Amino acid sequence: MNSGYEMAQDLGLYGFVSMDEYEAGVEAANTFVDLLQVGENVGNDNNETSAVYVNHQPGNTAMDSRFDGFRDTITEAIPSVLVNEVRLKEGQSDQETLHHLTEAFQQKCPTMVLIGSPVLEATTAALYANGCALSSTTIVGTFDTTPDVYASIAVGKLAFAVSQQQHLQGTLPVVMAATYVSTGQRLAPPSQSKYGIYSSGPSIVTLQTLPSDTIQACEAEGFPVCAPGQAPIKLGAQVQQAGLDTGVDLQFELFNRQESSEVMHAKMASKIISYCRAGVHGIFVSIPSTALIPAVRECLDLNIPVMSVNTGAEYAIDELQLPHHIGQLEYTAGYAAGKYMASPQHGIDKVICIRQDQDNKALTERCKGFEAAIRETNGAVEFLGRPIVGVDNVAGFIHTVKEFVANHTSDNTWDGLGMLELGTKYVDATLGLRQDHPGMQFGAFDTSGALYNALATDDIMFGIDQSLYLQGYLPVWLLTMIATTNQHLKNRYIETGPTLVLESASKEYLSCQALSFSVCPPPVLYDLNQLTNVRPIGYTLAAIVIATAVSCIVWMAMNRRSSVVAQSQPEFLLMICFGAVCMVSAIFPLGIDDSIASTEGASKACMAIPWCVALGFTIMYAGIFCKIWRINKLMTAAKYFRRTKIQAWHVIAPLVGLSVGNVLFLAIWTGVDPMYYSREEVCGAGDFSSVGHCKAGDTKVSVAMASLIGIINITALILANVEAYRARWLNEHLSEFRYMFINLLGILQVGIIGVPLIMLLAEEPVASYFLISILLFLVAESTLLLMFVPKVLLLRQEAADDSDDAASVASMASSNISPFGNNQNSSRHTRFSLPAAPKSFPSSLQRASSVENSASSSAALLNRIKELERLLREEEGVDTRRVFSKVQLDTVVTIPTERESDDDDVMASVNTAVLQACNGDIERAQSMARKLGLEKPISDLEIDEESDESSSDSSCAGDALSKNPVNKIAALTA
């Protein structure tokens, strides 16, 4: 389809739908010729005919073919015409295009300009800049149709557009392919086509053939079955209610607008005849033109009672002698409107009567009555005329009214102007005109929601109600009475109006009217699907996470001196808490809709959601990564006996990098193609149902940025889990591998289940908000709990162990038991004496050698040495990794804490214990110390052997120490 049709037959394609570009140029030239014959004054000052073709894609085969067709045809029709092609440069900016075209039109204004829709704005601006009056001096036509093209045709900037009917061009190939696949049958190539293609164009669109606003909206949406923004309308409800009330078998036909009034009236006449020939007991019709009179006469000849409603009173009573016409007398209604508008208190000195359809007899009568009332003012109010506007074209309506006022007032003043509209179609458009011209006033026939709203704000003078409900309800009753009793009223005119509506109706009345005044009306549900009821649930979940994060921070502050908190790197734990709070804070803007904010405010809230989620997730998991990465770097250095000190800022680079990436892409998303809040009516869900939700931007930029942000956050998650896996052998003080693995599984489940559900519920804002809130809560809360609960439990366990050990040491001291496990009077023991206050050992070590030492100090030292006691059994086979993970020494791990002085004491004690365990063998002790990764040097200690039975075993664990753990621990704590 579309392009490449020249090769369609050569390629053996089964079908091709496109527009012949050469023929499009031919049609454009013929349209120019027709317009030149109509507009005698069109042309430049020298009366020369010139044509300009603006080629916005030089080298494009389609653009060149269009020019060839245009040039060949226009020169044949007007031999003296000067044809010029302006070839724009590929890729030039809008400003460069405007400058290029302005120079091209400087010498003289061309008679005809043919362009492509992408350069419409630049072309019209260039023509205006050179003083070329559109439609009077220069005629402009374009290829292809867009909303801007339609609007330009409506206001007279463009004379026509060449449409290739793209919807037809895209739909037919699908139909043809599906038919061939399912049946094996296909269309034969058109014999009259040069290239054997089915032509979707060219089709010329002018002001006379301009599609209505409704059709334009449908075209923009691909002609859906249910046009967006338009809920199904219940028609003839009052007639159906009358049928139920009378119990008659009722058939109702309402004819939609056709391509012309003649076609619609012919169809109506045919339907009337078919009903009467079928033998109905009565019929009521509207008679908008004389075309229906023969059909009504045939019904009367068949003795079928006929009544007319709404329009055609003069035909019904004067010509057809029908028993009743039910409706308002249009002339009388127009007269009443004129009398009210011309009242001196309104300050109106000139009026116009705007007609939507020049062929409608009822509208003509309304304007006649309106004009008659104005004439009776004897010149106090001037009647300017009856401008005719399109039936369904807002842009054309505004342009026509502005032009009419400018042409019929001396100074184009709107002050004191009164306008009467013969329907409510253009009430909103007229309100827009009134904002620009506050001195103008207007009234309208019929009633609508827009009219009632304008009455409530005093922006409209009046509406005229003709009681359409009665026009549909009463004929059924009156015809039923005639058919069953042969009785009828003597009144020929059953007048349902006019009634001047000067104030807005109540909500209750509007609800009843919307339900056609049902006897027991069901409640009208204006279901906006807002988040009012579910919002507190989401905010409560967010508050729980925030409270959890604050509790974790308070716990860290209270236990900051404990080894569990110190070795868990609290600076990174704070980052995790902050990230969780930031991420779950997205629930707050997620809960903002048009029930508590304006559309603009809700749109800003929409864009805040990805900021909170992306930054919070990255900070949380990048913080976990940096925390564990720091431990892994330290452990790697310790493995090779290298002393290293790594501060938090040494490993913060990944967190900063990921956060900067998030901020960069979010900023581009926000600035170029931000999210916005949109409310849309739900097709097929009733008259009063709509949904409001956040939408991504209108271009692919938002999709690209969201994808990149997703990659960054997935990267943070993967990095955190990889580092946790590398640290799986560390104890729970330093690593959270087991809990990170559980958290990863949880997030995978959330992604697998939650993301598809979010997509399915995209059009259900209440359910979608609840689901997203639950998912954000689960991710943030589970991460916090899995990071902090194990540490809380571990701290409690250590406190319990310390209490037990302290109690044991205190018991030994009170029982006067030797630390070596023997009675103090025994002569067989080894005593290790320390030199008096050596420089390398603090005085606290001397206090530790005394059995009268406090229980708490002994317990703390004992707790440190217990792990070393078990490892020393292996001597040369000691696994250093286990030493580093089990022996909790800050001088080994080199994590700065507030307990460095205490650790110096413990370090000295451990050095002493190693030396004593090796029976004073300095060389052996230094070898063992190196294996354990101890930093402090082994100092010479005096060993006083008071027994011949001292262990002479060359190993680091003598018989007394290896066979009796109690003796050994006592020796180590001596």
Is the pLDDT at 897 greater than 70, yes or no? no
The model scores a pTM over 0.75: no
Share of the chain above pLDDT 70, in %: 72
Is the pLDDT at 778 greater than 60, yes or no? yes
DSSP type of residue 355: B
Residue labelled with tokens 């509209």 = 421
More confident residue, 156 or 283: 283
> What's the mean pLDDT in 82-87?
89
Which helix (H) or strand (E) covers residue 620, if one does?
helix 599-639
Rounded Cα gap, residues 101 and 107, in angstroms: 11
Residue 715: what pLDDT?
Answer: 84
Residue 854: what pLDDT?
Answer: 36
Residue 880: what pLDDT?
Answer: 37
Read off the pLDDT band of 554 (50, 70, 90).
very high
> What's the mean pLDDT in 33-59?
73
**Average pLDDT over the chain, rounded to whole?**
76
Residue 823: what pLDDT?
Answer: 39
Residue 103: what pLDDT?
Answer: 86
More confident residue, 587 or 513: 587
Residue 873: what pLDDT?
Answer: 46
Residue 1: what pLDDT?
Answer: 76
> What's the mean pLDDT in 575-602?
91
Q: Which of 272-276, 390-394, 877-881 has the highest mean pLDDT?
A: 272-276
The amino acid at 374: I
> What's the mean pLDDT in 109-121?
88
Residue 649: what pLDDT?
Answer: 65
3-state secondary structure at position 121: helix
Torsion of Cα atoms, 715 then 719 then 725 then 726, to 10°: 150
The least confident of 192-201, 338-347, 419-428, 729-738 is: 729-738
Which residues in 231-304 belong to E strands, given as ranges? 283-285
Is the pLDDT at 957 greater than 70, yes or no? no
pLDDT per residue as tens digits for the range 447-504 = 888 888 899 999 999 999 888 888 888 888 888 888 877 787 878 888 888 889 999 8
Torsion of Cα atoms, 875 then 876 then 881 then 884, to 10°: 50
pLDDT per residue as tens digits for the range 431-443 = 989 998 999 999 9
More confident residue, 12 or 209: 209
Is the pLDDT at 969 greater than 90, yes or no? no
Say how many C-beta atoms besides its own lie within 10 A of residue 709's C-beta. 23
Rounded Cα gap, residues 331 and 497, in angstroms: 11
Q: Which of 542-546, 624-628, 683-687, 863-867 has the highest mean pLDDT?
A: 542-546
Rounded Cα gap, residues 601 and 163, in angstroms: 40
pLDDT per residue as tens digits for the range 686-717 = 456 788 889 888 888 888 998 999 898 888 77
More confident residue, 40 or 578: 578
CB within 8 A of 150, min separation 6: which ones? 161, 205, 210, 211, 216, 395
> What's the mean pLDDT in 394-420?
88
| Residue 86, burial from CB neighbour count under 10 angstroms (0-12, 13-18, 19+) | buried
Structure tokens at 597: 């904010």
Read off the pLDDT band of 588 (50, 70, 90).
very high
pLDDT per residue as tens digits for the range 153-182 = 888 889 899 998 888 888 878 877 877 777
User: Are the C-beta atoms of 692 and 594 separated by less than 8 Å?
Assistant: yes
pLDDT per residue as tens digits for the range 864-881 = 455 455 445 444 443 333
The least confident of 100-109, 153-162, 627-636 is: 627-636
Residue 763: what pLDDT?
Answer: 80
Which residues in 310-453 belong to E strands, given as ranges? 325-327, 350-354, 382-385, 417-421, 441-445
Rounded Cα gap, residues 434 and 401, in angstroms: 12
pLDDT per residue as tens digits for the range 119-128 = 888 888 888 8
Rounded Cα gap, residues 575 and 412, in angstroms: 67
CB within 8 A of 836, min separation 6: which ones? none
Read off the pLDDT band of 421 (50, 70, 90).
very high
Is the pLDDT at 418 greater than 80, yes or no? yes
Is the peptide bond between 438 and the residue preceding it cis, with omega within 30 degrees of 0?
A: no
Is the pLDDT at 184 greater than 90, yes or no? no
Structure tokens at 746: 């949880």
More confident residue, 304 or 833: 304
> What's the mean pLDDT in 737-747?
71
CA-wise closest residue to 748 among 707, 706, 773, 782: 782
pLDDT per residue as tens digits for the range 927-951 = 666 555 554 444 433 333 333 333 3
Rounded Cα gap, residues 545 and 543, in angstroms: 5
Which residues in 632-734 belong to E strands, given as ranges? 676-681, 690-695
More confident residue, 702 or 732: 702
CA-wise closest residue to 199 among 13, 15, 69: 15
Residue 313: what pLDDT?
Answer: 85
